[in-house]
Amino acid sequence: MRHTIGGTWLLQLMIVFILLFVGFIILTINYSRTVKIKNELIDMVEKYEGINSESIELVNNYLKYTSYNVVGVCVPEDTEETGVYGAKDLNSDELEPAKEQEKYYYCIKKYNGANTSNYYQITVFYKFNLPVIGDTSSFTIKGTTSNFQSRDDKKYQDEIGR
């Protein structure tokens, strides 16, 4: 009887460690996928030298192609950041000003650099979910483009403040 109880306890301990290891592997793979998506979005914005209808269309098509479906809040509750834009719909080529408690696929904020150069901060969202437990936590992953002289696109000139 003593050996049976000890064997069961050891088996349960092994199962717990296997589940922890699998959870860590899932976390690592999903996080690296989201970082890759963020880097691709930065490259697309830099390719078109800013946010315009072509870059937004390219970004949205890429996100649809990669089956990216994670949404998050762009503006935290404790701040009232202005100049943050988010994509609510991946089928549209327009960004809208981000609002509190609204969910977006990605967020973009423009910063003015030195000598009339600009750069953008892009935020994508990452959720850690396990098959049995479900969504456990949500994270934001931010990245910035390099400084560049942005193109004049009349549609976004007033909205993003070029």
Q: What is the pLDDT of residue 137?
A: 72
Query: Structural domain of residue 133, as residue ranges?
Result: 2-160
Domain count, the chain: 1
Task: Check: CB of residue 30 under 8 Å from CB of residue 138.
Answer: no
To the question of pTM greater than 0.95 for the whole model, the response is no
Transcribe 65-106 into DSSP letters: HTT----EESS-TT---SSEEE-S-TT-S--EE--TT-EESE
Q: Residue 57's Cα: distance from chain center in Å? A: 17
AA letter at 134: G
- Reply yes or no on whether the pLDDT at 119 is more than 70: yes
Q: What is the pLDDT of residues 40-79, one digit of tens each?
A: 999 998 888 888 888 899 999 999 999 888 888 887 655 6
Mean pLDDT of the chain: 80
